[in-house]
Amino acid sequence: MDFNTENKLFDWARGFVVDLDKNTGLSPQIETGARYLSQMKGAFHDEEAEKALLAAGDPVIYEFHRNQSRGTKGDLIFGCSIIQPGKVGDEYHMTKGHFHSPADICEVYYCIGGEGYMMLENEAGDWSCLALHDCQVCYVPKGYAHRLICTGDTPFVVFFVNHAECGQNYGAIETKGFHKLLVERDGRPAIIDNPKWAE
Ligand code: MN
């Protein structure tokens, strides 16, 4: 039980606790959303595989739960992303990915289930792809676009914390994606060049 609280949801002034696990029940006003394959046109490199999956029923690629209330400057927003296991062709399920707006805001991701990768790249094309499993934290530095990729057989679940004033900027990701792709080769994750960046 709680002590000395009015039990207001999202009491940005005095503190609060919310439930973020949909299996045990989300708190009211926790916004949930799902990204279906049909909402990620062109994100995966194998267009034939994408078409076949869409014809068979448009799978959920990832979901998110976050607080609808954002607080004000100096507060933090947080939530969970859940990337479902699976592939489109040889490419693992992943989030769309984004830069921050303003660009000089960093973020942390704490993995609480499953396994996968964080793909990072900056405007200059510097990139890395970091393996991440439960109880590990990924630090996303300023100026780097970031994308989560599920490579395990179970949902890849991460908790994120970010500044309340942070927006998302898709930049070149919308049209070309990231410079590198994570695909399955001989049963293992491998990096290949994204053909859309070749020209
Ligand atoms: Mn972010």
- Report whether pLDDT(70) > 80: no
Separation of 107 CA from ligand 1 center, angstroms?
A: 6
Separation of 100 CA from ligand 1 center, angstroms?
A: 6
Report pLDDT digits (tens) over 134-149.
999 999 999 999 999 9
Residue 106: exposure state from Cβ atoms within 10 A (0-12, 13-18, ≥19):
middle
pLDDT of residue 165: 87
Separation of 38 CA from ligand 1 center, angstroms?
A: 22
Helix (H) or strand (E) holding 61: strand 60-67
Separation of 33 CA from ligand 1 center, angstroms?
A: 16
- Report whether pLDDT(37) > 90: yes
Distance CA 5, CA 7 (A): 5
Separation of 163 CA from ligand 1 center, angstroms?
A: 10
pLDDT of residue 73: 81
Bigger pLDDT: 122 or 21? 122
Lowest-confidence pick of 74-83, 92-101, 108-117 = 74-83
Separation of 141 CA from ligand 1 center, angstroms?
A: 10
Average pLDDT over residues 37-50: 96
State how far the alpha carbon of 52 is from the alpha carbons of 38, 47, 55, 56, in Å: 12, 9, 5, 6
Separation of 187 CA from ligand 1 center, angstroms?
A: 29
Report pLDDT digits (tens) over 6-28.
888 888 889 888 888 777 788 87
Separation of 158 CA from ligand 1 center, angstroms?
A: 12
Separation of 145 CA from ligand 1 center, angstroms?
A: 8
The distance between the two most distant Cα atoms of the chain, rounded to a whole number of Å, is: 62
Distance CA 69, CA 56 (A): 37
pLDDT of residue 199: 67
- Give the model's confidence band at 188: pLDDT under 50 very low, under 70 low, under 90 confident, else very high: very high
- Give the model's confidence band at 71: pLDDT under 50 very low, under 70 low, under 90 confident, else very high: confident
Average pLDDT over residues 105-132: 97
Average pLDDT over residues 100-107: 94
Average pLDDT over residues 167-181: 91
Q: What are phi and psi of 193, to 5 degrees?
A: -70, 140
Separation of 174 CA from ligand 1 center, angstroms?
A: 15
Candidates 155, 143, 168, 171; CA nearest to 81 is: 155
Separation of 65 CA from ligand 1 center, angstroms?
A: 14
